[in-house]
């Protein structure tokens, strides 16, 4: 069914108004209710924390007073007790002195309604402010056992003399030699705690705070009269008390011990073994929410009514120019590009009608231009096809030339490798007898030679050995390039190879005043070519010594890293620039430095090291922060080698 725009606008405004009113009402109701619950829980939590703090302060104050009484001079008379064998009259006077002192404390505003002394061995009451208690045994009481060890504060209990909740303090009494001679016990009424709990500030009309002991009984309540025996006989079994007596603190909405729904907060006081709760009736908490709910409904309804009225107004305002635009667009769409839409208002509709008229004029001009462009395009495509054919011919010819040049380069590279291989073999063959003859001459097998002759022969021998090393390196490079390089792996201790290399090069480093150190872990045995790995270590240490100045340092490390064993050689030498690092492992490449010009080298060492390590399935690389900042050469060997 096709609906007019006016109807759609009215329906849209009606829908928006209803949704807005509904969402506003629901959100306001939920947020208000949740906010008030949260605020009241925070408020009750503050009350609980304050009362908990006041209770702890009262207990600490009472404990300080009790310790002061225990440390009083009258309590330290060692001759107080009859089994010390003193005169009866003297004993009586001292007992009277102590009893008078204890009585003065009970009569003072200290909170104690009874104080008595227990015999340290029997637990018998020796002296008491309540004469009827003298002679009774209390060895089975917790305040006697715990009082021998130090200051003890009992749990809350019901006192029949007081007919109210009370607690007991106990502490050992020492003589002048700090020997325990008795236990002082004090019973305290909880009038001050009741006053703290009875403080109604911030609890409203239905609020209540109360204490529950570990046996689920009321100890003190802001709604129960002080001294009422109902307190200690009133059981409390609620979700809050159950959770609290498990040592937890929290808040929520739940049924209290009277069966009423309340908003409550509970805290466990571990020092007193009691739970303190603060609660308010849920209806009182949510009374303000009900009022706000009604106000939200009224405001939402008013907004909905206004939105519907606005819908009718805008519907009438918008539909007329839309009809004119629709009819004009239909005419232009049929091909009459000279038609103009007559809306003269200075709003978006007037601007849109002018844009339509401009668009129609532009379409007419564009149509003419398109026809001209189409003709040009056809001519261009014809030229492009001709150029494409010519370009393809040129590309094909150039490709053929590049292919021939590439074949020639490959042939030259092969000839170079063959030449190196032949030269290497041809050089090595005469070197062996030359070296042998030189050694025989130097050893004097052909007669005694002068010092000058010997020096000359030794120089020739050194150069022969260098030439032999060069041919060996070139032979290795040739084998690596042709894929004929072979490894002979055995079970090897990389730790031992590193230590042996350090031992071998320590003297050479010392000759140049360089400190060579090793930091190696006990690595697992690996499968590797021992001779080739030793060759890599020797090459790296030789380079490190060569490019490190006097008083420098070289450190070699060996450690495990995941599936690999890693070796690092770090020196404090000349360092390497970034552009040189990228070319270090290329054959015949040498870094141009002042030190390098004074030293010998072929530029094959690192390239051969790379070939050896990669043949073991490992990696080798170099790191440096730049020239003059030293360098680190590292390589890895897999714990389980895969020969490549």
* Among 497, 490, 480, CA closest to 565: 497
* Residues 205-234, mean pLDDT to the nearest whole number: 73
Residue 318: the pLDDT is 66
CB-count burial class (<10 Å; 0-12, 13-18, 19+) for 265: buried
Asked if the model's pLDDT at residue 595 lies above 50, the reply is: no
Q: What are phi and psi of 96, to 5 degrees?
A: -65, -40
pLDDT at 24 over 70: no
More confident residue, 469 or 552: 552
pLDDT at res. 594 = 44
Which is it for strands 553-561 and 218-221: parallel, antiparallel or unpaired?
Answer: unpaired
| Distance of alpha carbon 472 from alpha carbon 641, whole angstroms | 25
Alpha carbons within 13 angstroms on the beta-carbon side of residue 423 total: 14
Q: What integer pLDDT is reported at residue 226 of this predicted model? A: 46
Query: DSSP class of residue 487?
Result: -
Mean pLDDT of 85-107: 76
Q: Is the pLDDT of residue 351 over 60?
A: yes
CATH of range 486-638; options 3.30.565.10, 3.40.50.2020, 2.60.40.1840, 3.40.50.720:
3.30.565.10
Report which of 342, 323, 339 is spatially closest to residue 331, judged by C-alpha positions: 339
**Any bridge partners for residue 183, and if so which?**
118, 172
Which CATH fold topology does 56-192 show?
Answer: Beta-Lactamase (3.30.450)
Q: State the pLDDT confidence band at 175, using cuts at 50, 70 and 90.
A: confident
* CA 585 to mean position of chain CA atoms: 41
Tell me, rounded to whole angstroms, the distance of Cα 134 from its chain centroid.
65
- Contacts of 477 by beta carbon, 8 Å cutoff, 6+ apart: 420, 587, 604, 607, 608, 611
Domain borders along the chain are 56-192, 362-485, 486-638
Q: Is the pLDDT of residue 64 over 80?
A: yes
Cβ-based neighbours of 591, under 8 Å, separated by 6 or more: 576, 580, 584
pLDDT, residue 78, reads 44
Is the model's pLDDT at 502 over the cut of 80?
A: yes
Tell me which of 1.10.10, 1.10.287, 1.10.1200, 1.10.3470 is the CATH number of domain 362-485: 1.10.287
Judged against a pLDDT cut of 80, whether residue 2 lies above it is answered with: no
Which of 181, 186, 171 is closest to 82 using CA atoms?
Answer: 181
Q: Is the pLDDT of residue 17 over 70?
A: no
Check whether 643 has a pLDDT greater than 60: no
Does residue 635 carry a pLDDT above 60? yes
What average pLDDT does the structure give for the chain? 80
Q: Convert the pLDDT of each residue in 138-157 to its tens digit.
A: 989 989 999 999 999 988 87
Higher pLDDT, 297 or 501: 501
Q: Tell me, what's the pLDDT at 229?
A: 42
- 596 has pLDDT over 90: no
Calculate mean pLDDT across residues 352-363: 74
Among residues 181, 196, 162, 160, the alpha carbon closest in space to that of 61 is found at 196
| Dihedral sign (CA 399, 401, 407, 409) | negative
Contact 624, 631 (CB under 8 A): yes
Percentage of residues in the chain having pLDDT higher than 70? 79
Q: Which residues lie closer than 8 Å to 409 by C-beta, 6 or more apart? A: none
Helices 5-70 and 191-198: crossing angle, nearest 10°? 170
Report the pLDDT value the prediction gives residue 214, as an integer from 0 to 100. 85
Confidence tier at 454 by pLDDT (50, 70, 90): confident
pLDDT(600) > 60:
no
Task: List pLDDT tens digits, range 510-559.
Answer: 999 999 999 998 999 999 999 999 999 999 999 999 999 999 999 999 99
Q: Which alpha helices (DSSP H) does 108-238 contain, by range?
A: 142-147, 191-198, 230-233
């Amino acid at each position: 069914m096709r609906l007019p725009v006016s109807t759609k606008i009215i329906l849209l405004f009606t829908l928006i108004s209803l949704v807005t009113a509904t969402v506003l009402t629901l959100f306001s109701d939920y947020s208000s209710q949740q906010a008030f619950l949260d605020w009241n829980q925070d408020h009750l939590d503050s009350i609980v924390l304050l009362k908990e703090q006041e209770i702890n302060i009262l207990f600490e104050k009472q404990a300080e007073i009790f310790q002061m009484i225990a440390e009083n001079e009258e309590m330290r008379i060692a001759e107080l007790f009859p089994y010390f064998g003193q005169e009866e009259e003297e004993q009586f006077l001292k007992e009277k002195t102590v009893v008078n002192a204890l009585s003065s404390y009970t009569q003072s505003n200290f909170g104690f309604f009874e104080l008595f002394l227990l015999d340290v061995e029997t637990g018998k009451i020796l002296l008491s402010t309540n004469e009827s208690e003298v002679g009774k045994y209390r060895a089975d009481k917790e305040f006697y056992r715990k009082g021998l060890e130090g200051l003890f504060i009992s749990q809350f209990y019901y006192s029949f003399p007081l007919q109210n909740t009370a607690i007991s303090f106990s502490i050992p009494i020492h003589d002048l030699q700090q020997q325990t001679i008795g236990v002082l016990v004090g019973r305290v009424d909880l009038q001050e705690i009741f006053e703290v709990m009875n403080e109604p500030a911030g609890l409203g009309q239905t609020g209540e705070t109360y204490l529950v002991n570990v046996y689920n009984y009321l100890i003190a309540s802001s709604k129960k009269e002080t001294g009422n025996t109902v307190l200690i006989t009133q059981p409390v079994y609620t979700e809050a008390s159950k959770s609290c007596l498990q040592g937890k603190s929290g808040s929520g909405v739940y049924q209290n011990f009277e069966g009423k729904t309340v908003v409550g907060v509970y805290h466990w006081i571990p020092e007193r073994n009691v739970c303190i709760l603060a609660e308010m009736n849920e209806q009182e908490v949510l009374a303000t929410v009900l009022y706000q709910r009604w106000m939200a409904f009224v405001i939402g309804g008013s907004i909905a009514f206004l939105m519907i009225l606005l819908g009718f107004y805008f519907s009438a305002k918008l539909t007329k120019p839309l009809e004119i635009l629709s009819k004009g667009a239909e005419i232009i769409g049929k091909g009459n590009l000279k038609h103009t839409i007559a809306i003269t208002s200075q709003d978006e509709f007037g601007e849109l009608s002018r844009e339509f008229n401009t668009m129609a004029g532009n379409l007419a001009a564009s149509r003419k231009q398109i026809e001209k462009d189409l003709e040009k395009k056809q001519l261009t495509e014809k030229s492009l096809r001709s150029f494409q054919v010519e370009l393809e011919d040129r590309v094909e010819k150039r490709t053929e030339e590049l292919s021939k040049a590439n074949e020639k380069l490959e042939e030259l590279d092969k000839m170079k490798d063959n030449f190196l291989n032949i030269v290497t073999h041809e050089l090595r063959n005469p070197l062996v007898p030359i070296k042998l003859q030189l050694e025989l001459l130097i050893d004097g097998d052909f007669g005694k030679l002068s010092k000058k002759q010997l020096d000359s022969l030794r120089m020739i021998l050194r150069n022969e050995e260098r030439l032999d090393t060069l041919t060996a390196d070139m032979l290795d490079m040739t084998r690596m390039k042709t894929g004929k390089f072979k490894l002979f792996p055995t079970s090897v201790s990389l730790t031992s190879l590193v230590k042996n290399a350090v031992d071998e090069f320590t003297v050479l480093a010392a000759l140049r005043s360089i400190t060579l150190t090793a930091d190696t872990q006990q690595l697992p045995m690996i499968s590797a070519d021992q001779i080739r790995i030793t060759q890599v270590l020797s090459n790296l240490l030789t380079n490190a010594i060569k490019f490190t100045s006097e008083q420098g340092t070289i450190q070699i490390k060996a450690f495990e890293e995941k599936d690999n064993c890693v070796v690092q050689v770090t020196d404090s030498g000349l360092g390497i620039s970034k552009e040189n690092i990228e070319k270090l492992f290329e054959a015949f490449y040498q870094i141009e430095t002042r030190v390098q010009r004074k030293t010998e080298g072929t530029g094959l060492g690192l390239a051969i090291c790379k070939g050896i390590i990669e043949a073991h399935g490992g990696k080798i690389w170099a790191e440096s922060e730049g020239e003059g900042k030293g360098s680190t050469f590292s390589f890895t060997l897999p714990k389980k080698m895969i020969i490549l």
